[in-house]
A = this chain, B = another copy of it.
Amino acid sequence: MNETDAFPPRSSHPADDPETASEAVATESRHDEDDRLKPEYVSAVRDAVEAGDAERARELVSPLHPADVADLIELTPADERAAVIAALGDLVGGEVLSELNDYVRDDVIEEMEPAQVAELAAELDTDDAVALIEDLEAEDQQAVLDAMEPEDRAAIESALAYPEESAGRLMQRDLVAVPQHWSVGQVIDYLREASTLTSDFWEIFVVDEGHHPIGSCQLSWVLTCPRSVSVSDVMKREQTLIPVDMDQEEVALRFQKYALISAAVVDPAGRLVGMITVDDILHIVQEEAGEDILRLSGAGDGDINEPVMDSYKARVRWLLSNLLTALLASSVIRLFEGTIEQMVALATLMPIVAGVGGNAGSQTMAVTVRALATNQITASNTWRTIFREMRVALLNGATVAVVIGIGVTLVFSNPALGGVIAAAMLTNIVTAGLAGAAIPLIFDRFDADPAVASSIFVTMITDSMGFFAFLGLATLAGLTGSG
């Protein structure tokens, strides 16, 4: 990826080089302590563009890393982005596009000519080029593909043939594979001669005659071994092979579990067809781990760059489901209208029982969803996990019940009411613990994403049970306003 700035023949020592030194100062003034672009810097670029001073804008932006140029475009209001991009010209290259937020990128690409997109995609590794065009409308995608060199087009078309979010889309086809009978010296000579190779690789793969991977060598092993040693004596045979149709979430978990830097991707016949590198995995780990929180709250993709109407559609569906479950809880209350009429204080207290129970359920649910997402829960420890959560719930329930029971007894001078709310609270928190653990586990068992629908059901249970236990016990205890 950094080929262009990797090989510039420079000779001066940076400390003697006034340009580099002044650049270090400039970096300070562009970024805050968290590596984010400062608002003054973003404004300076926007002002230059607005004033029609493209040269000034380019001067400001040219020292930036492509990832920072992408940030700059994201931080520019949507209606100014086209002007900023036009002013920056070739500073907005393929790499900048591939670093852009998905929504912003789609907007930017829609404004471009297919030939321009094709040119930018050609600068990138296959996986990044695919990411660039996979979300385009079928027609636009075809126009871009038609504008590409046949070789690039073939690589991208074959990647697009794999399912979305699969290893086939993530992998790059540029990799180094050598036969097992080669020596380390032959490998080094080959690498020096083959000038067309990708320059960003971390391991080489050793293959048999049928192009099946039989081992891999870290470059550091190649470099620290004598030239005469055979690669088959240096390579590691225990490999983590990635099937080409594996879901990216599973790929990411494998990279994590086995601390991989790169991994060979194989087709169903076991032939080496590509390579996935860890830099592409970091984004996925971040995304997948962050997704759960958004899914649990029904926030859809939950990206601040998502068009408002898309966010609305994703979220309102969830709120309407939530409305349905709230109606259910409401109908539980209606069962006890007579009791409430006799003692209105019950209406003031009942949301406490439901609310704290809901919170206890969220805690257990968050723990269970995370443990499932990181493969920590398997059939071996499912029951142990549920029992563990029940023990925590019992302790939590007992503590909160004692506190609320004593408080209500004192405030209302009504020990029976205190007893009722304490018993209801304990019941609801224990129910919440059971539901919070069991519901995500049940979804997972049926191969549904536990983060997507669990919270609707857990809330439904804790609300309904909260009202039912409290008002039901109050009815049984014959509580009245005069109690």
| A276 CB to nearest B CB, Å | 13
The interface residues of chain B lying within 8 Å CB-to-CB of A311 are 392
**Looking at the complex, which one of B232, B257, B333, B340 makes contact with A67 (CB distance below 8 Å)?**
B257
**Taking the complex as formed, is A124 at the interface, i.e. its CB lies under 8 A from any CB of chain B?**
no
Q: Is A482 in contact with chain B by the CB < 8 A criterion? A: no
Chain B residue with minimal CB distance to A15? B208
With A1-B259, A330-B352 given, is the CB distance from A392 to B315 under 8 Å? yes
Q: Is the CB of A360 within 8 A of B396?
A: no
Judge if A319 is at the interface, Cβ distance under 8 Å: yes
Question: Closest CB-CB distance, A394 to chain B, in whole Å?
Answer: 9
> Taking CB as reference atom, which chain B residue is nearest A256?
B282
State whether B285 touches A289 (Cβ < 8 A).
yes
Chain B min CB distance to A123 (Å): 15
| A232 partner residues in chain B, CB cutoff 8 A | 10-11
Interface size on A, residues (CB 8 A): 155
- List B contacts of A260 (CB < 8 A): 279
Q: Does A445 contact B (CB under 8 A)?
A: no
A404, B323: Cβ atoms closer than 8 Å: yes
How many monomers of this protein are in the complex?
2
Decide: A221 near B6, CB < 8 A? Known: A283-B256, A356-B322, A391-B308: yes
Which residue from chain B places its CB closest to the CB of A361 in the assembled complex?
B297
Choose one: B233, B376, B407, B463; the contact of A11 (CB below 8 Å): B233
On whether A255 and B236 interact (CB within 8 A), knowing A191-B224, A355-B326, the answer reads no
Which residues of B sit under 8 angstroms from A316, Cβ to Cβ?
395-396, 399-400
1/0 contact string of A341-372 vs chain B (CB within 8 Å): 10011011111101110011011111111110
A351 near B370 with CB under 8 A, answer no
CB-nearest residue of chain B to A14: B214
- Whole-angstrom distance from the CB of A205 to the nearest CB of chain B? 14
Cβ contact within 8 Å between A388 and B308: yes
A29 in the interface, Cβ–Cβ < 8 Å? no
On whether the beta carbons of B366 and A297 are closer than 8 Å, the reply is yes
Q: A278-B278, A365-B297, A367-B304 are contacts. A258–B326 as well, Cβ < 8 Å?
A: no
Residue ID in chain B nearest A215 by CB atoms = B14
- A75 at interface, CB cutoff 8 A: yes
24 residue pairs of the A-B complex, CB under 8 angstroms, read: A7-B233, A11-B232, A14-B214, A14-B237, A39-B378, A65-B258, A67-B259, A77-B384, A195-B224, A197-B224, A222-B223, A259-B279, A261-B278, A297-B366, A299-B364, A303-B367, A303-B371, A304-B371, A308-B388, A316-B396, A323-B404, A327-B352, A327-B407, A351-B467
